[in-house]
Amino acid sequence: MTFRDIFKSSFLENVNSISLLDMTLALVLAFCLGVFIFFVYKKTFSGVMYSSGFGVSLIAMTMITTLVILAVTSNVVLSLGMVGALSIVRFRTAIKEPLDIAFLFWSIGAGIVLAAGMIPLAVFGSVLIGATLLIFVNKKSYINPYIVVLRCDGHESEGRAMEYLKERAPRLSVKSKTAQKGAVELNLEIRLKDDNTDFVNELAELAGVESAVLVSYNGDYMG
């Protein structure tokens, strides 16, 4: 081994494997696509509590994926090692909203396609996916779902309340029922064609009805 071999490093030989222009262009485009994904996520979010941290992580996920794929495509040996290293990574954060999974895969997919050099596919595909989500997620349902929490003092008052609701709501279904001595509590899912909720006041004034609570319901339901 000569003195020159001591300072010879395969690490330094890989410095110029990817040009500075390619790295800058890929990361800037990944940032732009990540911001677009974050914008779509913010506009289509319909959950209970909005998490700004998850939105920012979508931007970081796109850029990190682009960075990793750039390194993998530049060296075959590195790609094999990268597959082995990433296979042991485990994420324990629970995904609360089903749509969040789609945004995660979108960020990862955009980063992979972008780093592979398919810039038109990454841009056009992201625009198409974003437009699809904006149209269908924000689409208003013709019949609005609500949950009615009804408390009655017996079977007869329960029957009168049910008949009253059937006349006011196009669709009605019982979700749960709790019966005790002198009290019956019902959780009902109803569909309304408009936002007029004055019928709840009349429902609460029926004989034997102790209380009536109307709650907006935007969860998953079968249409």
List, for residues 41-98, the tens digit of each pLDDT value. Answer: 988 887 667 778 888 989 999 998 898 888 777 665 555 556 555 555 566 666 777 7
Given a cut of 90, whether residue 33 has pLDDT beyond it is: yes
Query: Which carries the bigger pLDDT value, residue 76 or residue 107?
Result: 107
| 134-154 mean pLDDT | 78
What is the percentage of the chain residues whose pLDDT exceeds 90? 17
**Domain 144-216 in this protein, CATH class:** alpha beta
- The pTM of the whole model exceeds 0.75: no
pLDDT confidence of residue 3: 45
- What is the Cα–Cα distance from 159 to 153, expressed in whole angstroms? 11
Q: Which helix (H) or strand (E) holds 216?
A: strand 209-216
- What is the Cα–Cα distance from 44 to 91, expressed in whole angstroms? 25
List the domain boundaries for the chain.
14-88+95-137, 144-216
**CA neighbor of 191 nearest in space, from 159, 217, 212:** 217
